[in-house]
Amino acid sequence: MILAKTGNEALAWAMRQINPDVVAAYPITPSTEIVQLFSTYVNDGLVDSEFVAVESEHSAMAACIGAAACGCRVMTATASQGLALMHEMLFIAGGLRLPIVMCVASRSLSAPLNIHGDHSDSLASRDSGWLQFFCETVEEGYDTLLQAVKIAERAYLPALVAIDGFILSHCLERIETFDDQDVREFLGRPKPNYNLLDYRHPILVGPATLQDYYFEFKRSQIEGMNNALPIIEAVQQEFRERFGRGYPVIEEYRCDDASAVVLVMGSACGTVRYAVDQLRQAGKKVGMVKLRVFRPLVHSLLKERLGRFQTVGVLDRADAVNSYGGPLFTEVTSVLYDLPQRPKVLSYVYGLGGKEFAPEDAVKVLEEVLAGKKAELVTYVGVR
By beta-carbon proximity to another protein, the closer residue of 184 and 206 is 206
* 221 sits near another protein (criterion: CB under 8 A): yes
d(CA 350, CA 368): 15
> How many chain residues interact with another protein (CB under 8 A)?
25
d(CA 64, CA 21): 10
**Site stretch for another protein (CB under 8 A), options 32-40, 172-180, 193-201, 244-252:** 193-201
* 98 sits near another protein (criterion: CB under 8 A): yes
d(CA 86, CA 89): 5
By beta-carbon proximity to another protein, the closer residue of 68 and 268 is 68
Structural contact between residues 255 and 289, judged by C-beta atoms closer than 8 angstroms: yes
Cross-strand partners of 51: 23
Nearest to 14, CA basis, from 143, 135, 102, 138: 143
**Site stretch for another protein (CB under 8 A), options 172-180, 219-227, 332-340, 350-358:** 219-227
For another protein, the binding residue among 2, 55, 112, 219 (CB under 8 A) is 219
Q: Which residues in the 17-76 window bind another protein by CB under 8 A?
A: none
* 202 sits near another protein (criterion: CB under 8 A): yes
For residue 224, report the phi and psi dihedrals to the nearest 5 degrees: -60, -45
Min. distance of Cβ 55 from another protein in angstroms? 21
**Site stretch for another protein (CB under 8 A), options 207-215, 233-241, 269-277, 351-359:** 207-215
| Radius of gyration from C-alpha coordinates of the chain | 21
Burial class (CB in 10 A: 0-12, 13-18, 19+), 74: buried
Binding mask 137-166 for another protein (x = CB under 8 A): -------------------x----------
DSSP class of 286: E
**Site stretch for another protein (CB under 8 A), options 194-202, 262-270, 334-342, 346-354:** 194-202
* 88 sits near another protein (criterion: CB under 8 A): no
Instruction: Report which secondary-structure segment, H or E, holds 17.
Output: helix 7-18
